[in-house]
Chain A
């Protein structure tokens, strides 16, 4: 407050310069999610990253893998559907369903990193080949119904992701598996997969489907009662006889394998619940993403899954949180006026000048137009224009911060117990190991992006 001479407006400047604490205690009370201890703990064997689409789930999984490996763990990252360049950054752009060693990892701590991309069809085929004799396997693999099913309709991806996780765990070649979850309509579908399969296998429907095949197979066993035949009649009418036959052949051929399917699905489900597993929910500080995150947190609790915390990606910060958006906009306006009208003492009109409302759209075109027009004019005017631009940019940033803070507060109010780590936004996308390391550094940074006090006037009215 006492720093300088010309600061006639210091009062509102220092009002916010207490900076580091937030107006809401909610955020201050939020426990921090410490990534490194989680990665270093030999008891951590599986980390599952889940979250809505587009929040950086796969990138987070890859970054965790890189960091854990460089800290000495033997890690495998299982990605489901990575963006091409992210996959390339880890050297796994071939989709061959096998973990590949990632080159360029610092292995001096004794760790290593492998990565793989899930190939649904291949995974499904392998199960069939492993659990059925050659002839039966061929019958299944050639069945049109199977071919469609395995090629990845809704649901299959979730089963196969879980199956692959179980396989990787069983191989016991890695001491940490990091899994990215499928971008399903409800991103926790993979939790339902085993149960869904179970209820289907226990259901009567499968017996109806299998009945005719069995009758055909074991001539003379006429246990098919009238109700059943009526039902298959209905099914035949609905599906067409040929499709029903395909389904029946498929179900009959799979019959011997179903038990194994369920056993493994159940085993994977229990594996997820075990203490060696840690679920991370990934989100961005946006309303929809955090709403989904809240749903995941509740769902994981209901399933008694070991939930470690929330990774909040793409959080913005500012080096000048003490300067509020309103004040920056007012100053920018002041500079604009100063450039046009000769107005020496600048702040005279600030208080009642109708500064654009903070939520109103800035006027980029005007700004850049006038800048373009000012070329060749005297330097001072350009500097004022430039400074006004810097201030508008800052105001925009402060609005982003305020909005992110509000969405976070809303989440925290619902789930104050959830540990959070914040990852500062990067200007561009990640394409290489260096980028993944940078993300990982931010993930593991103990200090959260500093929460910024925002003016209450930033809140939308109502």
Chain B
């Protein structure tokens, strides 16, 4: 199991939720996982129903079995100042740079520097060891930018290393790239069983592979159960209308005669069934596309009541059972 788990996915597929559930799932048996947010949206705080996260690693959840999940919302500016302090002891000069607008320039305008800082901080957490020389975190899970930007985001250090051909930025970028391109890292893509997200997932995987970044799994989120099989759906059309009306009536939903309460339900119910059938067919096609990607695929159910903390723990449980058998190191 790679120690840096990067979770990306098209917007709206629930990658923050999946990242959080994954962190909970990995934090078993006393293990420690750090959940990292890089886009400043405070999605993790909202998910865990806590106040906005500061730029500091703090415990936000205890997993079943005693594991711990820490969370960190990385702020590029603070990360840069930290970095300056850590490597150059630039306390005063750091402040002067900030006053000049250099920090602002570096974190918002300078190409890629912001992404260097974000990935750099995550990799630092991966490599960090405590006094007993044990890893500070068993796993670091990153709620990463969306699929469309993930390759560029992770690969930024390569680009920067090319831009700054030597010097400290160059060295830092290279060190980060060594972690990101190693088996220590796995990049997962979250998708829905819909055409656009699946297409984006396929494109994203091709890009990641081309950039030699380690692709992990595809996680299909919000999978809805198929409540009717196809045979049933075919029968649903036409000639069974009267029989369905009778059955509805028998179940206590009103009269089966023309205009009766049960009879009036038949058309809308069959229409919903037809839509369902169409969706089932589309999902079948999308599953086939995903199968061709030749990657392990996990499915997570749609939680009917919407996402809340209880739902998050449920998803974590789902992920844990799936991770358990294949949990190679």
Contacts and interface: CB of A to CB of B under 8 A. Distances in A.
Interface of A: 3-10, 13, 52-55, 81, 83-85, 144-145, 148-149, 151-156, 183, 185-186, 196-197, 199-200, 203-206, 208, 231, 234-235, 237-243, 246-247, 284, 286-289, 291, 318-320, 323, 327, 330-332, 334-335, 338, 346-347, 350, 358-359, 361-362, 364, 367-368, 371-372, 375, 379-380, 382-394, 396-397, 399-400, 403, 406-407, 427-429, 460
Given A185-B145, A383-B247, A368 B229 contact: yes
A206 to B, nearest CB: 8
Contacts of B264: 320
Given A231-B100, A460-B305, A393 B269 contact: yes
Interface of B: 10-13, 16, 39-41, 43, 46, 84, 88, 90, 93, 96-97, 99-102, 104-105, 108-112, 114-115, 145-146, 148, 152, 156, 159, 162-170, 194-197, 199-200, 224-229, 231-232, 235-236, 240, 243-244, 246-257, 259-262, 264-265, 267-273, 275-276, 278-279, 282, 301, 304-308
Contacts of A196: 104, 108-109
A428 B146 contact: no
Contacts of A392: 227
A394 B195 contact: no
Contacts of B243: 379-380, 383
Contact of A384 (B108, B146, B247, B304): B247
A347 B253 CA distance: 9
Given A155-B108, A208-B100, A364-B226, A403 B305 contact: yes
Contact of B282 (A10, A208, A364, A427): A427
Given A13-B261, A54-B11, A383-B240, A287 B253 contact: no
A83 B227 CA distance: 30
Given A335-B247, A390-B273, 16 more contacts: A4-B260, A6-B255, A7-B249, A54-B10, A145-B111, A152-B152, A203-B105, A243-B164, A331-B251, A361-B301, A362-B225, A362-B227, A364-B225, A383-B246, A386-B235, A394-B272
A287 B307 contact: yes
State the majority secondary structure of interface residues on A: helix
A184 B243 CA distance: 53
Contact of B195 (A55, A85, A387, A407): A85
Contacts of B240: 383, 386
A59 B164 CA distance: 40
Nearest to A148: B111
B304 A54 contact: no
Contacts of B93: 234
Contacts of B101: 199-200, 203-206
A371 B243 CA distance: 17
Contact of A323 (B110, B164, B228, B265): B265
B169 A318 contact: no
Nearest to B87: A238
Contacts of B11: 52-55, 183
Nearest to B101: A203
A239 B102 contact: no
5 contacts: A9-B252, A145-B163, A238-B167, A386-B232, A427-B278
A9 B253 contact: yes
A289 B307 CA distance: 13
Contacts of B248: 331, 387, 391
A12 to B, nearest CB: 10
A410 B93 CA distance: 47
Contacts of B145: 185
A240 B112 contact: no
Contacts of A81: 148
A147 B241 CA distance: 66
A238 B84 CA distance: 9
B253 A327 contact: yes
A380 B246 CA distance: 10
A249 B300 CA distance: 52
Contacts of B159: 148
A157 B207 CA distance: 20
A397 B259 CA distance: 23
A358 B306 CA distance: 13
A212 to B, nearest CB: 15
Nearest to B249: A6
Contact of A284 (B12, B146, B256, B282): B12
Given A145-B111, A367-B227, A205 B251 contact: no
B252 A389 contact: no
Contacts of A334: 251-252
A361 B225 contact: yes
Contacts of A347: 251-252
Nearest to A314: B12
Contact of B254 (A10, A186, A197, A387): A10
B244 A383 contact: yes
B252 A7 contact: yes
A284 B271 CA distance: 23
Nearest to A287: B306
Contact of B166 (A240, A284, A399): A240
Contacts of A53: 10-12, 146
A386 B93 CA distance: 74
Nearest to B260: A4
